[in-house]
Structures are given as structure tokens and as C-alpha cells.
Amino acid sequence: MKLKRRIFTLATGAALAFSVSAAFADEALDRVMSSGTLKVATDASWAPQSFLNDDNEMDGFDVDVAREVAKRLGVEVEFVTPSWDIITAGNWNGRWDLSVGSMTPTKARSEVLSFPAVYYYTPAALAVHKDSGAKVESDLDGKNVGAGTATTFELYLQKDLSIDAEGTPEFTYKVTPGKIKSYKDSTAAMDDLRLGDGVRLDGMVGSLPAILSAIKSNYPLRVLGDPVFYEPLALAIDKGDEAFNDKLAGIVGDMKSDGTLKTLSEKWYGVDYTSAVE
Amino acid sequence: MLFADTVVSDPAVHKPKVMLIMLVVATFLLTLFGLNDTIYGEFMRPVIGEPKESGFFGNVATGFVLAIIFVINVVLIGFAAFRVQILIVWLELLLLFLAFFYSFGLNYEFIQSKIWFMITQGVFTTLYISAISIVLASIVAIFGAVAKLSSNGFAFAIASFYTSFFRGLPLLMQVYLIYLGLPQLGYVIDAVPAGVLALTLCYGAYMTEIFRAGIQSINKGQWEASRSMGFGFALTMRRIILPQAMPLIIPPTGNQFIAMLKDSSLVSVIGVWELMFLARTLGNKDFRHMEMLITAALIYWCLSICLELIQSRIERHYNTISH
């Protein structure tokens, strides 16, 4: 009997512990400044934006941008690597302060996240196997086309892409796939595409830099046609902290005007992607 | 062995009929692979001529020769003693596996440059998360089992609800629910504790059932005798029931240990740098996923083998071992 009573006490105790709540709104900037660390969420498997380098440390364009932002805030930087869908779901509850993950500020995302500043633009392109006979984008109509799940590339294939950031170049839907195959990320789509033309995939949409870097690593792929759209890529923070938002916007503005972003873009991509491309 | 058989007979593989069937089936399967343009066809060059042009005849001849080698191998192993048989078959299967991986043309320098980090960071994290979770799950399971056997409707209801819920949901979903759901209640939990909690609750539910079955298997008379000697509930449990239930509980619990070691890979989705996470990310920059996945697979396997050995040690201690 004594034991049963103890179980009961345990259960009530646990219920009480869960009901203790803490508020997290409006305090991101305070938290960063008082703790002296900027916690940045980014992907660890998205070269050349962010990846683990040969010394097993985080490295890449996004990582360098995050380091620079932290430096200008006067704090240390710390990286966390939750999966992409957890980052884009919002409601971070103060687990991390900022996402520097080449995120496209879509309308749906802006309902749960704030986008302080666009820091560069990447072209998105179609890739096919190098043996493919496709010559123009519409040659992939009715075929199997892949993209990373919950990405703008997938939305593009679904003809459901709307980007509400300023300065986004117009685009048209140039391909009507027969079947859209969703992958964990773009790399997984390229892994399926490399198996051969039409083995599992006939083509994929991904960011041009990622496709080019795969081709450089001997993936038997080629880029099909011109970039299908240019996506602005932004820093993201949890909703509700205007001061933090403005501070980050200011920092990115400075990094643009003093050429820091341009230098970083050229370091990682060999090209300046920091202004909207015609 | 299933039972100690005293009837001595020839092993099945020494019967001519069985040998013939093996030979025909093996020849057929190997022919299907079309091996004339591989290294085996090259060995057969004196018989079949230019391997690439030998066509169907080349395939059948190559398959037939390989099938003969296979059958001779099996027949010879049939003569060996039981333990020697185990050893040889293990070695052969292992060699086949390694040859299979070797055929991928992996980059070993790359593996070498990453393996130390995989062990110090990945294996370490995997092991400590699994170890903490299994200890906590055992504690949960003891309480759960006692509650499920209790005559108190309240305790039974909670325990059965718990086991039903946590056995009924995919572990991956539990990881997400705990990591994303608890903050909605105002309690922000870090990735590692969230993973440990999910593993604990899920495996605690499975092990509750194992513990319950073990305790229930002890004859009622043991309880009655113990109580009549004036032992309390806790003392009876600790001194009389659990020691007898252990031999029944240990083997399935060992399976749970091994399963948990592998299922801990699911916490990689919330950004814990354990073995699976590193396997997916380390090869990313250089597009060398296969290298990292196979390395991680072999590491997981080695860890499981260690656990299997420990388990058989413990089983031998309780004298329930089958061989």
C-alpha cells in the first residue's frame, strides 16, 4: 500500500512540474547580451553553406556570416543543429536565438518567424543526369522530379511558391512534373539522380551552388537551362522581439555596405550573390 | 539446441540427393547473376574463351564451377565439429560481407580521417544516451510492473495507459512530441534530455511488460511462503521473487538493450551529435555518404556484438544458455 501511495505522489509531482511555465517573448536580445552567446541554428549537412569541415568543425558561408554577426554584436557564437523542419516550424522557445540557414522568407514561414534581413540571393536550377536527353525545362514535363522536402524547390515544383521579400525577381513555372518526389534534402535527391537517367529520378530542383559543388565532386549531373528562380535568403528569428530584429537588420545592412558579405560570398561561391541578379 | 537428441545420423548435407539439389539451385542462381564479365569469368578464360563474348554458355559454365566450389565447401564444413562449423561459417559470411562493401570502391583515407571523431564524439554520445536511458527505463519498468500487478485500480489504470500509449506510438514521433510538445507547456527541454526521456518512456513501457511477465511466472506459493514468514512486500520482492524472475527477465532485456542502442539514432533528428547524426553529416561536404554510412553501420554492429557477448555471459551466469 505504501508503494502505491508513493506512485500517486510521483504522478502528481510530475504534473505540477510541467505546469510551471516561463515566458520567452521579447527577450531574445536581452538573453543574447546577458549570456554573451549567440546561439545559431544551422544545418550541418548543407555544403557549402554550412557543414562539418575536415577538422570536424562547423564551416561554410552561413557559418561565416553567423560568426560575423556575433562579432558585431560583441558576443560569442554557438551552433546548434536541429533538423530543418524543426527550425522552420518556429516557436523556438529560446532554445536558440537566430537561424542563419539560407532560409527563403516565404509567406507561410513569415507567419511563425520574423526575417530581419535578406543577406544574399541564390539561383535555383534544374539538374538532370548527364546522359539525359532533356534540352529545355519543359522536357521534364510528366517526368519524376525531386526536391528536398519543405524547401522552396519543392514548392516551386508544386507551383505554390510565393516569396514576399522585397526585391525578389519575377519568375514563371517552367516545368510540370508528372510526379514530385520529396527527399530529406537536396543531396539525397542528387544521390538518387546520380544512379542514372530515369532510374529513380529524371531531374531535380536545387540551389545552383549546391548542384555545382556536387558536379565538382564528380556527380554525373548537368544543369538544365537557366536558373528557374532567384530566391532571397534571410536571417530568421522567433517572432516578437522588435529590438533584436532591428539590430540584426542594421548589422546585415552594414555588412552589405562595407563589402564583408561580398567577400564572404566570393570566398565560398566564387561569385557575388549578395545583390538581386537580373 | 532445442532438445538433447541421442539419435546419431549423417548431416543432411552429406546425402547425395541434398548435394545434387544444392548444386542445381546454386548453378541456377549464379547463372542468373551473369558472371562471365566479372573476375570469375576471367579465371574461366581457358574454358570459355573471351569472357565478354562467351554469352549464355560462359554464364552457365562460370556459375557451375562456382556452384561446385560452394557445394564442396558446404560438404567439408559438414564434417567439422559444431564449434568449428560456427567459426568457419561466420568467417565466410564476414568475408562475403567485406567483399560486398569492398566492391563499392570506398575511399579509405576519408574513412580514416573521420573515424576517430566518429568514435570520440559519436560512439561516446550514443553510448551515454543509451546507458542512461536503459537504467532509467529499468527503474520505470519495475514500478510499471508492480503497478500492473497491483490490485489498486488506480495504479493499474495509469500503468496500463502508460504502456499502451508509449508502445503504441512510433519512437520517432515520441522524440518529436517530447522535444516540440513539452515547450508548449512552458517547459523548454534540451535535445539530449528530450532524447533520453523519449527512449526511457518508450523502452520503459516495453520492459514493464517483460518485468511483469517475469514476476508473474513465479509460483504463487513463493509469495504465500514468504508472507507467512513475515516478510513484507518489498522484502519478498527483493529477496524471493526478483532473484527467481531474473533468469526469465534477463534475455529479453538484453534484446531491449541492443534495440535501444540502435534506436538512439532517432534522436539525431533533434540535432544530437551521436553516431547516426555524424554518419549523415560528416560525408556531406565531400559527397561521401556511403563511406560514412558503412563505417557507422560497422560501428553499430561491433557495439551490438559486445552487448550480445555480455548478454550471453549473464545468461550463462543464470544457467539458461542454449549452447
The CATH number that applies at residue A74 is: 3.40.190.10
The pLDDT-based confidence of B56 (bands split at 50, 70, 90) is confident
Chain A residue numbers touching B158 (CB-CB < 8 A)? 7, 11
What is the average per-residue pLDDT within B25-52?
83
Do B56 and B146 share a domain, yes or no?
Answer: no
Per-residue pLDDT tens over the stretch A222-252: 999 888 998 889 999 998 889 999 999 999 9
Q: pLDDT per residue over A9-39, tens digit each? A: 444 444 444 443 344 445 789 999 999 999 9
pLDDT over 50 at A2, yes or no: no
Strand locations in chain B, DSSP E? Answer: none
Count the domains in chain B. Answer: 2
Check whether residue A168 and residue A261 sit in a common domain. no
Whether residues A153 and A101 share a domain: the answer is no
Band (pLDDT 50/70/90 cuts) for residue B46 is confident
Q: What is the pLDDT of residue B204?
A: 96
The residue among A1, A42, A93 with the most chain B CBs within 10 A of its CB, best to mutate, is: A93
Set of chain A residues whose Cβ sits within 8 Å of the Cβ of B278: 52
Predicted local confidence at residue A276, as pLDDT: 66
Classify residue B1: in a domain, yes or no.
Answer: no
β-bridge mates for residue A203, sequence order: A145
Residue A131 lies in a domain: yes
- Grid cell digits, residue B59: 554464364
Same-domain status, A46 and A116: yes
**Mean pLDDT across A117-144:** 92
Q: How far is CA B238 from CA A47, A220, B220, B242, B245, in A?
A: 56, 65, 16, 6, 10
Same-domain status, B187 and B117: yes
* Residue B304 near chain A (CB below 8 Å): no
Q: Please provide the average confidence, as pLDDT, over all residues in chain B.
A: 89
Taking residues A67-81, report their average pLDDT.
94
Residue A12's pLDDT is: 47
Q: Could you tell me if B191 and B68 lie in one domain?
A: no
List chain B residues with CB under 8 Å of A86: 179-180, 269-271
Q: What is the mean pLDDT of residues B139-163?
A: 94
Q: Enter the ipTM.
A: 0.73
**Does residue B209 share a domain with residue B83?**
no
- Same domain for A96 and A155, yes or no, is no
Mean pLDDT of A83-104: 90
Query: Average pLDDT, stretch B78-100?
Result: 91
Q: Is A89 on the interface with B (CB under 8 A)?
A: yes
Based on the fold, state whether residues B72 and B215 are members of the same structural domain. Answer: no
Whether A48 contacts chain B with CB within 8 A: yes
Question: Does residue A71 have a pLDDT over 90?
Answer: yes
Is residue A100 in some structural domain? yes
Q: Inspect the interface and report whether the beta carbons of A56 and B158 lie closer than 8 Å.
A: no
Number of domains chain A contains: 2
Tens of pLDDT, residue by residue over A180-219, are: 999 988 889 999 999 999 899 999 999 998 898 889 888 9
B33 and B113 fall within a common domain: no
Q: Full-prediction pTM beyond 0.95?
A: no
Q: How far is A46 from chain B (nearest CA, A)?
A: 7
Instruction: Answer yes or no: do B250 and B173 share one domain.
Output: yes
Average pLDDT, chain A: 86
Q: Is pLDDT at A101 greater than 70 in this prediction?
A: yes
Per-residue pLDDT band at B319 (split at 50, 70, 90): low
Say whether both A48 and A183 belong to one domain. Answer: no
CB B253 within 8 A of CB B181: no
Q: Is residue B51 part of a domain?
A: yes
Cβ atoms of B275 and B265 closer than 8 Å: yes
Name the residue range of residue B23's domain.
Answer: 12-102
In a domain, A5, yes or no: no
In the stretch 245-284 of chain B, residues with CB closer than 8 A to chain A read 269-271, 273, 277-278, 280-282, 284
pLDDT of B100 over the 90 cut = no
Task: Check CB contact of B183 with chain A, cutoff 8 Å.
Answer: yes
Q: Does B39 score more than 60 pLDDT?
A: yes
CB distance from B112 to chain A under 8 Å?
A: no
Model pLDDT, residue A64: 95
Domain range holding A47? 26-120+232-267
pLDDT at B3 over 80: no
Which one of B284, B288, B290, B293 would you mutate to disrupt binding with A, by most A Cβ within 10 Å of its Cβ? B284
In the structure, what pLDDT confidence band is assigned to residue A130 with cuts at 50, 70 and 90? very high
Q: Are residues A225 and A243 in the same domain?
A: no
Is B124 an 8 Å CB contact of chain A?
A: no
Q: Both A145 and A61 in a single domain?
A: no
Instruction: State whether B221 and B138 are in the same domain.
Output: yes
Q: So what's the pLDDT on residue B321?
A: 47
Q: How far is CA B251 from the centre of its chain?
A: 13
The tens digit of pLDDT for each residue in B230-288 reads 999 889 998 999 999 988 888 888 889 899 999 999 999 888 999 999 998 888 878 88
Q: Is the pLDDT of residue B165 over 70?
A: yes
Does residue B218 sit within a domain?
A: yes
Which CATH number fits the domain that encloses residue B163? 1.10.3720.10
